[in-house]
Copies of this chain bind each other. A is one copy, B any other.
Amino acid sequence: MGNFKKYLIGQPLKSSQLHHEKFSVFRGLPILSSDAISSVAYACEEILWVLIPIMGIISYNYLLYVTLSIIALLSILIFSYRQTIDSYPKGGGSYIVSRENLGEIPSLVAGASLTIDYILTVAVSATAGVAAITSAFPFLLPHKIPLTLVIIGIMTLGNLRGISDSAKIFSVPTYFFLIMTIIMILTGIIKYLFFGYTAIPVEGVSETFGDMTVFLFLKAFSAGCTALTGVEAVSDGVANFKEPATKNAKKVLAFLFLIVILIFGGVSYLSTIYHAVPSLEKTVISQIAEQVFGQGSFLFFLMQFATTCILIMAANTAFSDFPLLLSFIARDGYAPRQFNKRGHRLSFSNGILMLAIAAAILVIVFQGENHFLLPLYAVGVFISFTLSQSGMVMKWYRGKEKGWKHKALINGFGALITFCTAIIISINKFTHGAWLVFVLLPLAILLMKRIKKHYNKVASQLSLENNYFPIFNSKVARRFILPIAGLNEAVIKSINYAKCLSDDITAFHVSTNEEETQKLKEKWKKYNIQIPLVIKESEYREVVQPLVDFIESDEFRTTKYDIVTVVLPQFSTEKWWGTILHNQTAVFIRSTLLKKKNIAVITVPFIIHDQYNVSEISVQNKESYPKTDTAS
């Protein structure tokens, strides 16, 4: 097993090998913004899903207005986050900003929202990546769920190996997608404006149209807000930039802004002129690419490939950010400690595995259909936006440094807008799945508080400040008891070992079968085992309870505050499956006894060799010990 693990995730790495490569702007941009940029691959589609069924063909006119208002929201966010970058040069994720400025509960809300979001990022991006593949190769459509799971599996393995810190190749997919999208937008516009291309007639869309209402507009707006997911990544990752880090991070943020305007706006415009209709079979972006580049053309396939690549990249950012977040939460005591422990390859392996499993479950439950997953997504993102911005306001208010009012205003406006957006999204998407977020959030927070309480309790009970240092009575501790099922080599070994530590040893046998008990008694005599043998009957074929009863009885133990010692022979086989073939009574007895405060358990191993060589043992025996025929 050990070798298989090594093969799968690689040789272990030394702690001293832990170092983070610092990004230049050129390298940092693609790595930190792939999530935000990739959202474009599905944001337009989500808006159209809302509009088309009600507005029909006229939807395309309104698409641009919705896009523009989302871009306006983005610009507010960008300004707000510039300030976060300045204040948190070591990385200011929502969890950390809330924790420092708003207190426990808000930080837990942020932590829980982010947790849910990272899981959704993986599920959504992997699903969308596969949707890009199946749009190009429709025959793969029936296999999209296994395909998605395979991609998640590969990312998991990759991240367990620790690719996140080393792969320079990671900037390629983002630039690749960027270039392909720009080519598509330009070609599309040129084809339309100068070559008079008219969109193929759309099927199944009514020519008549309903009224545009505020409600419908907000609905479309909240659907499109998925385009903004991933914007906070830059402010999380400031520490990863080369000096001057904050300056570089802000540059990246500015570029990100321009890129989103360019490609989100561009794709929206293309949707309008090429009349893409969202469907479960073909993504909107692939429909556009098909018309622009021509069906089955090389560039079309290249575009699909680029989309898949950037979406997988986006999923991958969750794989590198989520375990880190979880390790912060675990360090603060709100999540199991294991999440704050680096694995063989220095990655936080437990967090990676948890993320992968949760995402895989989502993919299976939602049948690999993004359209059903996305409503859950945006709510959490905007809750954490709001908290992070509010935290910044609080920071300015408390610090009251020069110009704080101006700064608080910017973040305050950001907080207000994102809060409103969060509410709009929640209302619009509530019945479509967002309710699940409002069920999961309180549960997650409750769980985290519960865990914290537990760790506090453990710490207080382990603390040496209690001044409780029990001294045990040595005579009682040396009262050994050895539960046995029969008399064999393993028992003899245990007895002889126990004799080294104590001269007060009792063997204890629970009789469930009279014949066997009789045999044991005879053997006991024959081999002249010179320790007392206590036999108790058990009517219910129960072995452990009679043992505990006996230990706790006055017959055996005289004081309940002193430790007594149980000696257990335990089989161990060289092959892993060997353990299945034994009753494992020893394991069961031990786990029961260890729940008793004052019973210590000594386990004496007896190895069953796969290749048994009597002569070798005899030699060894002769060399070291006089051969004896009884244990006396």
Contacts A15-B539, A562-B624 given; 9 further ones with Cβ under 8 A?
A336-B580, A341-B541, A342-B541, A457-B608, A461-B609, A467-B627, A501-B565, A561-B625, A570-B594
Q: With the chains together, A16 CA to B512 CA distance in Å?
A: 10
- The verdict on A195 contacting chain B, using a C-beta distance below 8 Å, is no
B581 touches A469 (CB 8 A): no
Q: With the chains together, A614 CA to B593 CA distance in Å?
A: 24
In the assembled complex, the CB of A434 is this many whole angstroms from the nearest CB of chain B, namely 28
A540 touches B12 (CB 8 A): yes
A603 touches B590 (CB 8 A): yes
Which residues 576-632 of A have a CB within 8 angstroms of B? 578, 580-583, 590, 593-610, 612, 614, 617-618, 620-621, 623-631
- The verdict on A1 contacting chain B, using a C-beta distance below 8 Å, is no
29 contacts between A and B (CB under 8 A): A12-B542, A15-B540, A341-B541, A344-B540, A454-B573, A454-B581, A457-B608, A457-B609, A457-B610, A458-B582, A461-B612, A462-B490, A463-B489, A464-B488, A464-B527, A466-B614, A466-B617, A471-B626, A472-B496, A477-B497, A501-B501, A559-B624, A561-B624, A565-B602, A594-B605, A595-B605, A600-B602, A600-B604, A601-B603
- The verdict on A14 contacting chain B, using a C-beta distance below 8 Å, is yes
Q: With the chains together, A466 CA to B474 CA distance in Å?
A: 36
In the assembled complex, the CB of A324 is this many whole angstroms from the nearest CB of chain B, namely 17
Q: Which residue of B lies closest to A17 (CB)?
A: B539
Q: With the chains together, A528 CA to B490 CA distance in Å?
A: 40
- The verdict on A492 contacting chain B, using a C-beta distance below 8 Å, is yes
- The verdict on A493 contacting chain B, using a C-beta distance below 8 Å, is yes
A469 touches B630 (CB 8 A): yes
Q: With the chains together, A177 CA to B233 CA distance in Å?
A: 69
B466 touches A493 (CB 8 A): no
Partner of A471, one of B477, B489, B607, B625: B625
Q: How large is the interface on A (under 10, 10 to 19, 20 to 34, 35 or more residues)?
A: 35 or more
B469 touches A631 (CB 8 A): yes
Binary interface encoding of chain A residues 151-186 relative to chain B, with 1 for a CB under 8 A from any of its CBs, else 0: 000000000000000000000000000000000000
- Complex contacts, A627 vs chain B, CB 8 Å: 467
Binary interface encoding of chain A residues 535-560 relative to chain B, with 1 for a CB under 8 A from any of its CBs, else 0: 00001111000000000000000010
- Complex contacts, A602 vs chain B, CB 8 Å: 565, 600-603
Q: Which residue of B lies closest to A628 (CB)?
A: B469
Q: Which residue of B lies closest to A458 (CB)?
A: B608
Binary interface encoding of chain A residues 480-496 relative to chain B, with 1 for a CB under 8 A from any of its CBs, else 0: 00000001111011001
A336 touches B467 (CB 8 A): no
Q: With the chains together, A399 CA to B63 CA distance in Å?
A: 93
Q: Which residue of B lies closest to A618 (CB)?
A: B468
Given contacts A466-B614, A600-B605, contact A595 B624 (CB under 8 A): no
Q: With the chains together, A370 CA to B411 CA distance in Å?
A: 65
- Complex contacts, A478 vs chain B, CB 8 Å: 500-501
- Complex contacts, A612 vs chain B, CB 8 Å: 457, 460-461
A455 touches B581 (CB 8 A): yes
